[in-house]
Amino acid sequence: MTLLAGFQAVLSRHSGQDDIVVGTPVAGRNHPDLEGLIGFFVNTVALRVSTAGSPSLRDLVDRVREVALAGLGNADLPFEKLVEELQPDRSLAHAPVFQAQLVLQNAPYDGFRLTGCTATTLEVDSGSAKFDLTLVGERTADGALRLAFEYDTALFDVATVDRLGRHLCTLLEAAVADPDRPLDRIPLLRGAELRQALVEWNATDRPLPEVSSVWELLPTGPAAPGSAPAVTGPDGQLDRTGLHRWAGRIAGRLLAAGVGPDTPVGICLDRGAGMVAAVLGVWRAGAGYLPLDPALPAERLRFMLADSGTRVVLTSRAVADRLAGVLDEVPSLLTLDADTEAAADTGAAAAGAGVAGADGSGPAVVPHPDALAYLLYTSGSTGRPKGVAVGHRAVLNLLTSFRDDLDLGPGDLFAAVTTLSFDISVVELLLPLMCDVPLLVVGADETGDGPALRRRLADSGATVLQATPATWRLLLAAGGVPPAVRLRVTGGEALPRDLADALLADGAALWNCYGPTETTVYSSGGPVPPAPAAVTIGGPIANTRLHLLDEAFQPVPVGVVGELYVGGAGVARGYHGRPGLTAERFVPDPFGDRPGARLYATGDLARRRPDGRVEYLGRADHQVKVRGFRIEPGEIETLLRARTEVVDAVVTAWAGGDGDTRLVAYAVPAAGTDPDTLWERVRPALARQLPEYMLPAALVPLAALPLNDNGKVDRKALPAPRWTDPSAARVAPRDAVEQLVAEVWQEVLRVDTIGVHDDFFRLGGHSLLGVRALGRIGAAVEMEVPIPLLFAAPTVAAMAAALRAAEPAPGHVDAVAAFRQEMAGLSDEELRALVEGPE
C-alpha cells in the first residue's frame, strides 16, 4: 500500500492529474482448495485513488488502504466483466480503464518440484509492453525491494523512465522521513537535475550597456554618403540626422508642456516615419509613450486616456479631425505636421527647446533606468483593459539581447508591419535603428492586404521581417514570402509545424520567439530547426530566467508540463493603478539571488525538452490568442452580460483549418428577446467598445449554458457554431460569377451553403480570411481583386456585380492595373453606387 501510494503520487506529479487509476494483478487463489491446482487464476483489480487536497504520505496511504481493501475484497470479479459494465471508449492505442500497473511479487517462492523432474525459472522477453507503464517490485534474497519498469517505447524513452524512477525514490525517501509533509511540497528534483533546471539552463547573465535608455545607443551624426534613409514610411523619408532633429524638437515641445519622468504621453498617429520620431521624442523628454491606434474604437481610446491619466497627446491634424470627439478632451494636443516639413530639410540646424546639440542627440532629460518607457493596454479578464507599465531598463535589455543574437548588418532592410499598440512593434521599430539598419514602416492599408504587402516587401528589397503567424500565412496565401526576406521572425502566438516548414522551405532563417507583454515583448527565442524536430520557443534571452513550476511552486522535471514563470531584467513594473492585480501576477522569486526579484506568472503551460529548450503547449486558463493578439474572453463576456438582452454569456475560440482561429460568443437571451435577432442587437454596441480583433465572429443563442458537476460552464459541451448570416434571406447563386464567389466563400469560411445576400463578415470572416478568398477569386478570373473591394462589396451579389463591372481581359496585365486604379480612385459613395446599382 505504501509503494502504491508513492507510485500514484509520482504519477500525479508527472501528469498533473489528481485522479489516478492503477491496475494490479492478484493471484486469484483466495480459497485453500485452489492453492494446489495447476492453472491460471490471475485477475486484475483497478485501484482508483485521488491525490487531491495536498495529502501527506500518511493521509494518502490511508486512502490507498481503503481503496485496496475494497478492491481486493472484490477480486473475484473478472476484469473483463468490469470493462463490459463500464463500457469505456475503446482504442487500439491504450488499454481500457487504466494504463499504469503495479506488480508486487510478494508471494514466497522456493522452487517448483515434481516427482522425477526439476523446474527452473527463466526470464523471457515478451517483445512488447502490456501497458503504457508497469512498475514491478520483488523482494531479493537479502530482503531488499528491487524495482523495475516495463514501458511502451512509443511513449517513453529510457531517460524519461530513469528520471521517473529517481523521482519515485526521492519522493518516498522524503515522505518516509516526514510522513506528515504534503507530498506536493516535496521537491522531485535534487542534485545535478535541480541545478540544471534552475541554474544551468538559466545562465544568461550579460552586462548591460551603462546607459539609461535605448536612445543613448542609437547612432547619431550624418550617415555615410549614399546610405539609405534611416526611416521610410508613407509620410516620407528621414535620414539619421533628420530623425534625431525631429525627435529633439518633439522632446522640446513636450518639456515645454510640462512632461517629465513617468509621465505617459499618448501617440495617436498614422503609421510612418513621424511615428518613430514621436517615440524617440517622448523618450528624450524622459517620459513614456502610450500607443493610441487611431483604428481603435472611440470608447476604448477614451478609457485608456482616462485610466492612464494622459494629459498630452502627439497626433496629426488628419488624425485629430478623424477623432475629434475623443482627442478634443485631451488638455494638451500637440500636432506634428509643422515638424514634418521642417524635418524634411535635413540640413536645418534648429533644435527643440531644451535639447542640447544641433542634431538633437543630447536630450535634456536622462530617465532613471526603471522609469516608464511605455504603457501598453491589454485585454482584461474582468472586462476592464489593464495597462502594463514597462521600464527603460527592460527595453534596453530586450534590444541589446536581440542585437547580439540576430545577424543584422549592412545590406539589410527591416520591414515593420505591426501596430504600435502591439508590443512586438518595439523590436521592429527600435532594433534596426540600434543596429544602424534602414527601417521601412509599411502603411496600415498594406499590412492587412496580402498581395499589397507582398509587393511592398518585394519592391523595397526588405531582408528582415517580424510578424505573427497569421501575417505569415497572409503572405503565403498571396503568393509566398519574397525570397529576399532572408531572416524571418515570428512571435505573438504559437508557431505550428506546417507554417514553420513553409517559411523554411526556401532556405531562409526562421526565429520563433515568445513573451507576454508583462515581460517586455520577448522572454525567449531561438532558430527553428527543420522537421521532424519539434518547434520550441528556444531558451531565455539575456538576463532572463524561465522556470516551469507546478501548482505547489515546485520545479517540474524535464518533459513534465508546468506553468511558465519569467524572471529577470524583462519583468515589467506592473499594472498601472492596479496594485492588487500586480501582486497577484508578479510574485516574489524564491530562486533568485537579487533582493526584491520577482517572477511573472504567465498562465502559459510548457515543458522542457532534454536539451533545455522550452516547448509551448497552451494556456492554463481561458485566455486565447487570435491573430497574435492576447484576448481575455472575460472582457467580452462582461460587456455581453451588461446588455439587457443577455442573461448570461461565455466566449471561446474555435480553431479551424489554415491556422484560422475565430471568437464565438454563446449567450442566453433575456425573456422577450428573439434569439434570431440577438446578435444584430448587441453587435453594434460591442463594435463601439472592442477592437476589431476582439469582436466575436458569431453569436450562438442557447436556452442555458451547459454546466459541469462543479456548476461551472462546461466549455467542452458548447455546440459548434454554424457560420450563417441570420439576417440574410437565402437566395441561391443565379449565374456563374455568383456561383464562383459563393463556392470560394464556402471553402474559406467553412460554411455548407451560402446565399447571394449573405455577408462575408457576418459569416465569421475577417480581413485575413478576406485576403485568402480574394486571392482565390482573382486566380479564377485571372485578375487581381483589391482587398478594399471586400469591405465595399461584402455580399456575394455585390462582389459579383463589382467583378462584372470591371470586365478585365483575362490575363491582361494592363487591364488588371486599370481595374485596380479605377477601384482605388472611387469614393465610398461611388463604390456603394457601383455595387448596389443595377446589375
Domains of the chain listed by start with CATH number: 2-192 (3.30.559.30), 239-367 (3.40.50.980), 632-717 (3.30.300.30), 736-836 (1.10.1200.10)
Which are the contacts of 69, defined by CB distance < 8 A and separation ≥ 6?
A: none
Q: Which three cell numbers stand for residue 705?
A: 449554458
pLDDT value at position 831? 56
Strand 372-378 relative to strand 312-315, pairing: unpaired
All residue ranges of the chain with pLDDT < 50 are: 341, 343-362, 808-817, 838-839
φ/ψ of 289, rounded to 5, equals -100, 150
φ/ψ of 379, rounded to 5, equals -65, 145
Q: Which three cell numbers stand for residue 797?
A: 451579389
Residues 183, 171 contacting (CB under 8 angstroms) = yes
Cα dihedral value 268, 272, 276, 282, nearest 10: -30
pLDDT value at position 602? 94
SS3 of residue 202 by DSSP: helix
Closest CA to 646 of 667, 663, 660: 667
**Cα–Cα distance measured from residue 772 to residue 273, given in angstroms and rounded to the nearest whole number:** 30
Cα dihedral value 415, 421, 424, 429, nearest 10: 40
Cis-peptide, bond into residue 532, ω within 30° of zero: yes
pLDDT value at position 309? 95
Closest CA to 605 of 511, 490, 514, 498: 514
**Cα–Cα distance measured from residue 281 to residue 340, given in angstroms and rounded to the nearest whole number:** 13
DSSP 759: B
Report yes or no on whether pTM surpasses 0.85.
no
SS3 of residue 612 by DSSP: coil
**Cα–Cα distance measured from residue 6 to residue 12, given in angstroms and rounded to the nearest whole number:** 10
Burial call 448-470: b when 16+ CB within 10 Å, e when fewer: bbbbbbbbbbeebbbbbbbbbbb
pLDDT value at position 808? 46
**Cα–Cα distance measured from residue 213 to residue 191, given in angstroms and rounded to the nearest whole number:** 40
SS3 of residue 586 by DSSP: strand
**Cα–Cα distance measured from residue 710 to residue 714, given in angstroms and rounded to the nearest whole number:** 9
Residue 657 exposed, middle or buried by CB count within 10 Å (0-12, 13-18, 19+): exposed
**Cα–Cα distance measured from residue 126 to residue 104, given in angstroms and rounded to the nearest whole number:** 19
- With cell 480570411, the residue in question is 769
SS3 of residue 826 by DSSP: coil
**For the chain, what is the radius of gyration of the CA atoms?**
32
Q: Which three cell numbers stand for residue 508?
A: 531562409
Residues 102, 22 contacting (CB under 8 angstroms) = yes
Residues 634, 382 contacting (CB under 8 angstroms) = yes
Strand 464-467 relative to strand 113-114, pairing: unpaired
SS3 of residue 687 by DSSP: helix
Q: How far is CA 724 from CA 346, 718, 750, in A?
A: 56, 17, 10
pLDDT value at position 520? 97
DSSP 72-105: HHTTTS-HHHHHHHH-PPPBTTB-SS-SEEEEEE
- With cell 531644451, the residue in question is 354
Which are the contacts of 711, defined by CB distance < 8 A and separation ≥ 6?
A: none
Q: How far is CA 535 from CA 436, 517, 532, in A?
A: 31, 22, 9
Burial call 659-686: b when 16+ CB within 10 Å, e when fewer: bbbbbbbbbbbeeebeeeebbebbeeeb
**Cα–Cα distance measured from residue 551 to residue 539, given in angstroms and rounded to the nearest whole number:** 22
End-to-end CA distance of the chain: 81
- With cell 506488480, the residue in question is 103
The C-alpha angle with vertex 624 and arms to 618 and 629, in degrees rounded to 5, equals: 115
SS3 of residue 802 by DSSP: helix
Residue 62 exposed, middle or buried by CB count within 10 Å (0-12, 13-18, 19+): middle
pLDDT value at position 618? 82
Residues 528, 535 contacting (CB under 8 angstroms) = yes
